[in-house]
Amino acid sequence: MSGKIFLVGFGPGAEEHMSFRAKSAIAESDVVIGYTTYIKLVKDLLDGKEVVRKGMTEEIDRCIEAYEQAKLGKKVSLISSGDIGVYGMAGPTYEVLLKAGWTPDNEITVEIIPGSTALSACASLVGAPLTHDFCSISLSDLLTPWPTIARRLEAVALSDFVVALYNPKSGRRTQQIVQAQNILLKHRDPATPVAIVKSAYRRRQAIQLVRLDEMADQEIGMLTTVLIGNSTTYIDQGLMITPRGYANKYDNLTGEAKAGEQAGRSLSMGLEGWKSCLREYLKQHPELTWEKAADYFSVPVGQVLSALAQAPEENALAHQAAIVDFDDLQKALDSSKKWGRLRGVVRTDSGAVVELFLHGEDFKQKTDWLSIENDAFHLHINWNKVNCAYFACRKDKSYGLHFIDKHDNLVFRLLLTKQEGIFNPTLLETFQNNWQDLGKSEEIIND
Ligand SMILES: C[S@@+](CC[C@H](N)C(=O)[O-])C[C@H]1O[C@@H](n2cnc3c(N)ncnc32)[C@H](O)[C@@H]1O
**Mean pLDDT, contiguous 10-residue spans, the chain (447 residues):** 92 94 96 92 91 82 92 96 96 95 95 98 98 97 96 96 97 96 97 98 96 97 97 97 85 80 84 90 91 94 95 76 93 94 92 92 87 88 95 93 96 95 95 94 58
Long-range contacts of 251-260 (CB under 8 A, 24+ apart): none
Q: What is the pLDDT of residues 267-278, one digit of tens each?
A: 888 988 899 999
Task: Assess whether the C-beta atom of 118 lies below 6 angstroms from ligand 1.
Answer: yes
Determine which residue's CA is closest to atom 15 belonging to ligand 1: 118
pLDDT at 316: 59
Q: Is there a domain that residue 66 lies in?
A: yes
Last residue of a domain, one of 116, 142, 167: 116
Tell me, yes or no, whether 388 and 356 share the same domain: yes
The alpha carbon of 272 and the centre of ligand 1 are apart by a number of angstroms equal to: 40
Residue 308 placed within a domain: yes
Whether residue 153 is found in the same domain as residue 128: yes
> Do 417 and 280 sit in the same domain of this protein?
yes
Question: Which among 15, 113, 166, 201 is the best mutation to test ligand 1's pocket, defined by most ligand atoms within 8 Å of the CB?
Answer: 166
pLDDT of residue 1: 64
Instruction: Tell me which residue of 384, 350, 354 sits closest to 366, measured CA to CA.
Output: 384
310 and 404 share one domain: yes
Instruction: Kindly report the CATH number assigned to the domain that includes residue 65.
Output: 3.40.1010.10
Domain-embedded: residue 424 = yes
Count of domains forming the chain: 3
- DSSP H stretches of helix in 75-138: 90-99, 118-126
- For residue 310, the SS3 value is coil
Query: Last residue of a domain, which of 195, 217, 241?
Result: 241
CATH code of 344's domain: 3.40.1570.10
Distance CA 297, CA 276 (A): 12
What's the confidence (pLDDT) of residue 445? 43
Write the pLDDT tens digit of every residue in 339-361: 999 999 999 988 899 999 999 88
Q: Are residues 287 and 434 in the same domain?
A: yes
- Residues of the domain holding 149: 119-241
117 Cβ closer than 6 Å to some ligand 1 atom: yes
Summarize the chain as % helix, strand, coil (round to 5).
35, 30, 40
Residue 444: the pLDDT is 47
Q: Which of these, 350, 346, 345, 342, lies nearest to 419 by C-alpha position? A: 342
Tell which one of 59, 225, 226 to mutate to probe ligand 1, the residue whose CB is within 8 A of the most ligand atoms: 225
The verdict on the CB of residue 116 being under 6 Å from ligand 1 is no
Backbone angles phi, psi at 326, to 5 degrees: -50, -40
Q: Closest Cα to atom 2, ligand 1: which residue?
A: 87
Give the pLDDT score at 318.
86
Are residues 73 and 126 both part of a single domain? no
Q: How far apart are CA 231 and CA 417, in angstroms?
A: 42
Return the SS3 of 15. helix
Within-domain flag for 230: yes
- 412 shares its domain with 331: yes
Question: Is the domain of 36 the same as that of 76?
Answer: yes
Is residue 257 assigned to a domain? Answer: no
> Do residue 24 and residue 112 come from a single domain?
yes
Domain-ending residue, one of 57, 81, 116: 116
Closest CA to 406 of 389, 385, 392: 385
Tell me the whole-structure pTM to 2 decimals: 0.89
C-alpha span between 114 and 79 (Å, rounded)? 11
Give the domain CATH number at 219. Answer: 3.30.950.10
Note whether residue 253 is domain-resident: no
Residue 417 DSSP symbol: -
Does residue 73 lie within any of the structural domains? yes
Q: Are residues 293 and 426 in the same domain?
A: yes
Pocket test for ligand 1, best of 81, 169, 219 (most atoms within 8 A of CB): 81
- DSSP string of 129-141? TTSS-EEEEE---
CA dihedral 266, 134, 113, 115 (to 10 degrees): -120
If asked whether residues 304 and 412 sit together in one domain, one would say: yes
Kindly state whether residues 308 and 425 are assigned to the same domain. yes
